[in-house]
Amino acid sequence: MMRAPRPGLCLAALLALAACNAPSASGYTRPAPEESASTEYRFPLPEPGERLRFRNLDRTYESKATVLDWLAHAATITFSQYPEADRLPEDHVMDPELAARDFAVSRDADFAITWMGHASFLIRAGGQKILTDPVFDHTLGPGTSRLVPVLPDPDLIERVDAIVLSHADQDHFNQRTLRELAARYPDVRVHVPRATGGLAQWQGFRNVYEHEYYGSITSEDVRIAAVPAVHGLRRPPFAPNSMSWAGYMIETPQGRIYFAGDTGMGDIYRQMRGHFGPVDVALMPAGTWAPRDFQKGSHVNPEEAMEIAGILDAGVSIGMHWGTYPLSPEPPTEQKRRFLEAGTEQNPSMVMRIGETIVLDGDRRLAARGD
C-alpha cells in the first residue's frame, strides 16, 4: 500500500517549485495616470536591505495565528479536509445553455453583472466590460478543486476593457487564467495594488496600473479607484505582505459599484463613504469566514459584510467569495442563508447562481431576491 505524502513535504515541494518560476514583486515603477499605458516596465531587484511590508490602515481584530497555524490551514485546504465545504445549495448552478443564452441576450445592456464564481464578475457598464479577480482554473493547487463549473464559458466574452485584481492570493490571482486573458485581450487595462505590478506584467499584460489607495484611472466614462481593504497577503515564495491588497470603487454613468475583494472589519469604510458617496451595488464576501478566530482579522462574516454595506449605503449587496472552492469549513448552504438573512429592507442582500447574469435598471434600491 502506498502511503499518502506528508503535508509538510508537499508544501515544501510546492514552495520550492514556485520559487523557481516567480519574478520579483518589488521595484515596479508605478505609472502616473497621464503616462502612456504602453510604458515598458521592468523588475529591478530591491536595493540592499530594502524590504517591502504592507500593513492595514486600521484593524479592529488582530489575528493570533502563528506560522504553524498558517501551515496547518494550507495543509487542510490542500488535502480537502473540510467535510461540509461541498454542501451546495439547490439550484446553485445555472444550466450551461441557459447561462449562455442570458449572457448573449444581455450583451448590449447598459448595466449588467454576471457571476462566474468566487470573486469573478463581469460588469458591463459605461460601455465597458470589466472583470474582477478572474479565476477560471479547475484547481488552485493540489487537492483544491473547483466545486462548480465556470459559467458562462469564458470563450463567450468577446471583449474585456479592464481587469481589477484585489490582491495576489491564489484564489484571486490565478496565473493560468491571467495568462490566457493576456493572450486574448492584449490591450486590456489591468488594475493592481501596490507592488503587484511586476507579477501582473509577468503574466503577459502590457497595460498595468499600480494604485495607491484612492488613486484612480479614468477611461472614457468609467473611473476605477483602488480603496483600502483589511487583509494581508501570503503567496509563497514571496514574503508575507510584500504586495499590497485593495478593494475597488468602479464609477460609471449607470451607477457606482464597490468590489470588496477580501476584507475584514475596520474604520476605513466610513471614510470611503465620505469620499465617494453612496454605493449602488456592493459586491460583498459571503464565505470563508471560519474558523472565526483564525479568519476574523482578514475576512468578514456575512453579518459584518452587510454592516459594511450599510455604512456605504449600498442600494443592493450581492454575495461573492462563496460556493466555488472548498476554502473553509462552513458549508455553502450556511454561507448563502446567513448572507440573505443579514440583509434588511433598507440594506438588501441577494445572491446569484453560478453563471447568472442580471440586468440592472436605474433604481439603485433594487429588490433583493430571496431564492
Q: Which range is most confident: 45-59, 131-145, 204-218?
A: 204-218
Task: Judge whether 248 and 132 are in contact, CB under 8 Å.
Answer: yes
What does the pLDDT average to over 45-70? 68
Question: pLDDT by residue (tens digit) across 90-149?
Answer: 999 999 999 999 999 999 899 999 999 999 999 999 999 999 999 999 988 776 889 999
* Cell 481584530 -> residue: 61
Tens of pLDDT, residues 186-199: 899 999 999 999 99
Out of 12-21, 142-151, 178-187, 285-294, least confident range: 12-21
* Cα-to-chain-centroid distance, residue 120: 7
Q: How far apart are CA 342 and CA 347, in angstroms?
A: 9
Using DSSP's 3-state secondary structure scheme, residue 139 falls into strand
Greatest pairwise CA separation for the chain in angstroms = 63
- pLDDT higher than threshold 80 for residue 69: no
Residue 221: CB atoms within 10 A of its CB come to 13
State mean pLDDT over 200-211.
94
Domains of the chain, each with CATH number or no CATH:
66-359 (3.60.15.10)
Model confidence at 80, pLDDT cuts 50, 70, 90, reads: low
Question: Measuring CA to CA, how many Å separate 279 from each of 112, 285, 338, 345?
Answer: 16, 16, 22, 16
When pLDDT is averaged across residues 60-67 and rounded to a whole number, the result is 71
Cα–Cα nearest to 280, from 253, 304, 247, 243: 253
Q: What ranges in the chain are assigned the alpha helix state H?
A: 7-21, 67-78, 96-105, 175-184, 197-201, 268-276, 292-295, 302-311, 332-341
Distances in whole angstroms, Cα of residue 182 to Cα of each of 52, 68, 105, 305: 27, 36, 26, 32
Q: Which of 271, 279, 229 lies closest to 252, judged by CA?
A: 279
Q: Is the dihedral of CA 318, 320, 324, 329 positive or negative?
A: negative
Quick one: pLDDT at residue 27? 35
Question: Per residue in 290-343, pLDDT tens?
Answer: 787 777 788 899 999 999 999 999 999 999 999 999 888 899 999 999 999 999
Residue 364 above 50 pLDDT? no
Instruction: Give pLDDT, residue 320.
Output: 98
The residue-averaged pLDDT of 60-81 equals 72
322 Rama sector, left if φ>0, alpha if ψ -120 to 50, beta otherwise: beta
